[in-house]
Structure 1
Amino acid sequence: MTFLLGSHCPDTGGIAMAVRRAGNAGMRSLQLFTAVPKFYNEKVGVKPERLARWRAALDETGLQAEHAMAHAAYVLNVATPDAEKWERASAGLAKELERSTALGLGMVCFHPGAATDGDRGAALMRVSVAMTRALEGVDGRTKLMVENTAGAGSTVARTADEIAAILDGIPTALRARAGYGLDTCHLYASGFDLGRDEGAVAEVLDEFEKTIGAPPGFFHLNDSEGALASNRDRHALIGEGQIGAAPFGWLLADRRARGVPLILETPHAVDEPAEDDATPDPHDVRMMALLTKLADGAGRGR
């Protein structure tokens, strides 16, 4: 079994350079920002020359755009009760879907935000409305995916029930273009003990699939600096955090890891490579080797 392993590669020099760094690391997938993630970017498009460079890099590396995904800006709190902030965040999410569709990406993932007034039910509904607006406004095949959260403060989408509530609020006609993904660090930090024993990962995935009615559409593969149920969203290199390496092998042995992007968001050794340097990050290379080894072991175990 060949997995869609990848990383959120550094995009210094542009998104085309992120593709080349992914290709040079032997990745079959990657994650990227389509715009600077600390801004709403509700008016930022994709210029033709940028799109041409992107497509050229895909051709050079053999990577497929539909196996790549975007991570939306961190500031997009579409759960907020603040009407002005929600409008900007909702517009930013729609524009993110538009940019990602122009690039031919398979999906966009986003953090849904926080119920800052304490009303979690209303917050989940606002996330559904923002997703619906984006999907209605942008035609195409690119999917919009909710990411589970580590559960800090009033953030929503920590549990399978909350993600199900968000997706249930999307009209049936649009539902095929909406989904969710799971971050292993977020799961562990929010209280799901992935390292308890060999059956733990499957039990967690069973819970999410049964409650939501579909398996995850992607995974973020991150170890956790924080302890179980700490609600700390602090990623660590696989095998160097509180989860440990073994649960990632259990995940790769699960049917739900097949055919979906499996993306590292672990620390990089070089945060700002030179703009013309397509060398993959050393930590990414090491993590890819570890995951490949774990995948091989998972294959022999089936």
Structure 2
Amino acid sequence: MKLGLHCDVRPGYLHALKTAESLGCEAMQMLPYRRHQIPTEKDFAEFRDAFAASPVERLVIHVRFLPFLASTDRPRHLRSIELLEREIRYAVRLGGEFLIVHMGAYSPGSSLEEGTEIFAAGVVDAWQRAAPERLALVVENVPGGGRRMGGSVEELAGLAARLAEAGIDASLCLDTAHAWAHGEALDSREGMKLWLSKAEGAFGAGRTAIFHLNDSLAVLGSNREHHWHWGRGRLGREGIDALLGREDFAHAVGILEMPPGDDLRNLEWMRERVTALRAARSSRPGR
């Protein structure tokens, strides 16, 4: 698994890349633009050139929150399509490999099924307008609760099926903190294996492109998002070892999204787990 970090773009694209490089990241994730700033073609070109010369190998772009893409309020829905189209175009200009989206919430008086249909139609509209050639769409699970969609892998699979009807092949991003908040007991090996099995059952094997590797301070099943530092939250080591030990996830990207200030320690904690698991595998008889 290629490990990396969500990097802040507020000081600029190049600053985000330098952060990833300084921490020895193999991958990085960032938002497509700074709030209230319109990037120029020069900004995009400078970043693409710097990334091409960088040891960072994988670039993930995370869409900003689109609260009304599933809305039954037509003007708000159309505005969200315009925003998503813009972010798809920005992701392409940055040279992104993946673009991650959340499903958001359906409108009061609506339903999960209707909200999924409206959201999927909005994504298809924006995707067809932007027509990206080498950008992969990735859908991410959320803590869920209330009208928020995408808490379960089954709900994400329902979205992916609708996108597939329009020729859009969506992959999966699995966030450990979000799954924990949704009720998946990822603090144990058995709980992690069960969750990964659900994802494979809903999406198929080999469809998880990205993991958001986050510990959490939230209570299990609370639907609250509270990312925290590894080894200091509720998830612990046993469950995450069951994920990191899967050789079939070697192709995937693993992104840490922690509160700022302890990035290097979090990355080193994760790297140590990967190294220990590799050593354990290599010491098995017959290896």
Tell me if both proteins adopt one fold, taking TM over 0.5 as the criterion.
yes
CA offset digits 1:245-284 (Å, max 9, x no partner) = 3322221112353222211111111xxxxxxxxxxxxx11
CA distance in structure 1 between the aligned counterparts of 2:155 and 2:182, rounded to whole angstroms:
13
Aligned to 2:113: 121
| Cα RMSD for the two superposed structures | 1.9
| Change in 2 beyond 3 A, CA 1:256/1:89 | farther
| 2:13 matches 1:15 | yes
CA offset digits 1:149-177 (Å, max 9, x no partner) = 1013210011122111101112446233x
DSSP 3-state at the match of 2:60 = strand
Aligned to 2:212: 220
Aligned to 1:279: none
| Change in 2 beyond 3 A, CA 1:264/1:93 | same
Tell whether the 8 Å contact from 2:9 to 2:34 is kept in structure 1 after alignment.
Answer: no
| 2:82 matches 1:105 | no
Aligned to 1:34: 32
Aligned to 2:226: 234
CA distance in structure 1 between the aligned counterparts of 2:87 and 2:19, rounded to whole angstroms:
23
Aligned to 2:285: none
Aligned to 1:258: 250
What residue identity is the alignment partner of 2:279? R
Question: 1:49-68 residue pairs with structure 2 within 5 A?
Answer: 49-64=42-57, 67-68=58-59
Tell whether the 8 Å contact from 1:76 to 1:90 is kept in structure 2 after alignment.
Answer: no
Question: 1:281-292 residue pairs with structure 2 within 5 A?
Answer: 283-292=262-271
CA distance in structure 2 between the aligned counterparts of 1:83 and 1:191, rounded to whole angstroms:
33
CA distance in structure 2 between the aligned counterparts of 1:156 and 1:83, rounded to whole angstroms:
19
What residue identity is the alignment partner of 1:28? E
1:53 is displaced (CA, Å) by 1.9
What residue identity is the alignment partner of 2:9? D
Tell whether the 8 Å contact from 2:72 to 2:107 is kept in structure 1 after alignment.
Answer: yes
DSSP 3-state at the match of 1:286 = helix
CA distance in structure 1 between the aligned counterparts of 2:135 and 2:258, rounded to whole angstroms:
25
Tell whether the 8 Å contact from 2:214 to 2:256 is kept in structure 1 after alignment.
Answer: yes
| 2:148 matches 1:152 | no
Aligned to 1:91: 82
1:243 is displaced (CA, Å) by 1.0
Tell whether the 8 Å contact from 1:11 to 1:18 is kept in structure 2 after alignment.
Answer: yes
Tell whether the 8 Å contact from 1:97 to 1:108 is kept in structure 2 after alignment.
Answer: yes
CA distance in structure 1 between the aligned counterparts of 2:209 and 2:266, rounded to whole angstroms:
21
1:60 is displaced (CA, Å) by 4.4
Aligned to 1:134: 126
DSSP 3-state at the match of 1:300 = helix
1:216 is displaced (CA, Å) by 1.6
Aligned to 1:183: 175
1:20 is displaced (CA, Å) by 1.0
Aligned to 2:154: 161
CA distance in structure 1 between the aligned counterparts of 2:104 and 2:10, rounded to whole angstroms:
27
1:56 is displaced (CA, Å) by 3.4
Tell whether the 8 Å contact from 2:189 to 2:241 is kept in structure 1 after alignment.
Answer: no
Aligned to 1:72: 63
CA distance in structure 2 between the aligned counterparts of 1:102 and 1:250, rounded to whole angstroms:
37
Aligned to 1:275: none
Tell whether the 8 Å contact from 1:132 to 1:171 is kept in structure 2 after alignment.
Answer: no
- The size of the alignment, in residue pairs, is 278
CA distance in structure 1 between the aligned counterparts of 2:163 and 2:45, rounded to whole angstroms:
34
Aligned to 1:174: 167
Tell whether the 8 Å contact from 1:68 to 1:261 is kept in structure 2 after alignment.
Answer: no
| Change in 2 beyond 3 A, CA 1:149/1:188 | same
Aligned to 1:273: none
CA distance in structure 2 between the aligned counterparts of 1:247 and 1:170, rounded to whole angstroms:
31
Structure 1 gaps, min length 5: 270-282
DSSP 3-state at the match of 2:189 = coil
Aligned to 1:280: none
DSSP 3-state at the match of 2:208 = coil
Structure 2 gaps, min length 5: 282-287
What residue identity is the alignment partner of 2:198? E
TM-score scaled by structure 2? 0.90
